[in-house]
Amino acid sequence: MDATEQASPMTRSSDRVMQAAPLDRPDEFVRAVAALSGVTPLVEGMQGYIGRNDNWRVPTADAGDLFVKRLRGEERQVEARMNRLLAFQELIATHPQREAKAVPFYGADRSQSLLVFGHLPESRTASDLLGSDEFTPDLAHRLGRVLGEVHQLPKVPVDIKEFIDGKALTAFYALSPEDYANCSGGEVEAWAMLQHDKELVQALERLRSLSADAGTTATHCDIRLDQFLLAGDDVYVIDWEEFRYSDPARDVGGFVGEFLHHAAARMFAELDVEAGLSPGAAHEAILAAGELQMEKIRSHIARFWEGYQELAEVDSSLEVRATGYAGWHFFDRLLAGAVHGARLTAAERGMAGIGRNALTQPERFAPTIGLQRG
């Protein structure tokens, strides 16, 4: 349940592209990338992408462009993320998928925390398609099959220990003085809202317990719509730095949570409650607006769930746990956005309420959003 926003490295949206910052040691960078890829990178033409890591599109003198990532963060975190990603690359190299293609991977340089991939020209993320109303229920069905196939990958003996973030374990009860001092005003409000809601904290503890008792599969553990790239007829799933064997509901909930968050954000953006309405009438207007947006995405979630069940083994309570994780997705996004704000907005608080309903009442919420057995 990481509250850190992790941006996709291969997103094609123009608002994520920027001029590449000068390299500290360009000669070392060139040698490392050339050694891994077998081609000569041209640093003068590099293009950067916004994200928590250093991400670049790197042209070459000999072939097509490369995508190069340098992992950033505390040393233990970088090592853990590197190990997970390399474990997945090793797994997928011996167990190729039918529903999705693997991005060409050239290798890693641990000394520089570098990873080198092939660049995917003219690709779009599923998030882009949803935002432009081009994401169809049939595409949702296909991505359900993609994720279902991932969850059927065999278990192999890999050393991908869980990295425990001390703040994540304790912040639901109290922030340390150091964490409090480093929080923005928006973060302080968000954590206070969580800590003072005992029913919500109990729901999170219940979800963690249910998840710990569930069967494990190969899981992405950071599924968002911008982790799905589409290039022509091909689908790619990227950013495997959180890969591990875990509860598959984490991935299903991440996918569903993206749709729910999109619907809620659009509802609040388009909401126009007439001045002078009584509180009861205003509440009814908000509910009607929410149902309108829910109706637009319910078929997508249902079709995704159908596709997923066609390939994955689904236990008796997976949809309930997935609904809980979909609810957590709202708080994940809330905490990520609060880093940049002095106060929480009314819309952010309202969206947190939607996430709370999914977390505290997942059995009732699951069929409402399209997660029900045939």
User: What pLDDT score does 176 carry?
Assistant: 80
Beta strand ranges found along 160-301 (DSSP E): 217-219, 228-231, 234-237, 244-246
pLDDT confidence tier of residue 16, bands split at 50, 70 and 90:
low
**C-alpha span between 37 and 13 (Å, rounded):** 26
Query: Taking phi first (over 0 means left), then psi (-120 to 50 degrees means alpha), and beta for anything else, what does residue 8 get?
Result: beta
The pLDDT tens digits for 210-260 are 999 999 999 999 999 999 999 999 999 999 999 999 999 999 999 999 999
pLDDT confidence tier of residue 6, bands split at 50, 70 and 90:
very low
Cβ(256)–Cβ(371) below 8 Å: yes
**C-alpha span between 226 and 9 (Å, rounded):** 9
Q: For residue 229, what are the β-bridge partners?
A: 125, 236
The pLDDT tens digits for 268-289 are 887 765 666 666 766 677 777 7
Question: How many other C-beta atoms lie within 10 A of the C-beta of residue 113?
Answer: 19
The reply to whether the predicted model has a pTM over 0.95 is no
Q: If DSSP states are collapsed to H, E and C, what string results for 205-233?
A: HHHHHHHHHCCCEEECCCCCHHHEEEECC
Residue 296's Cα: distance from chain center in Å?
22
Please count the CA atoms within 13 angstroms of the CA of 304 that sit on its side-chain side. 26
Closest by CA to 210, choosing from 256, 161, 245, 246, is 246
The tokens describing 180, both together, are 């409090």
**C-alpha span between 353 and 366 (Å, rounded):** 16
Average pLDDT, the chain: 87
Q: Which domains does the chain have, with CATH numbers?
A: 14-122 (3.30.200.20), 125-369 (3.90.1200.10)
The pLDDT tens digits for 108-161 are 999 999 999 999 988 999 999 999 999 999 999 999 999 999 999 998 877 666
pLDDT confidence tier of residue 5, bands split at 50, 70 and 90:
very low
If you write DSSP's letter for every residue of 309-364 in order, what string do you get?
Answer: HHHS---TTHHHHHHHHHHHHHHHHHHHHHTT-SS--HHHHHHHHHHHHHHH-HHH
The pLDDT tens digits for 18-46 are 555 557 788 899 999 999 999 999 988 89
pLDDT confidence tier of residue 17, bands split at 50, 70 and 90:
low
Amino acid code (one letter) for 368: T
The pLDDT tens digits for 302-345 are 999 999 999 999 999 999 999 999 999 999 999 988 988 899 98
The tokens describing 201, both together, are 């904290």
Cβ(359)–Cβ(200) below 8 Å: yes
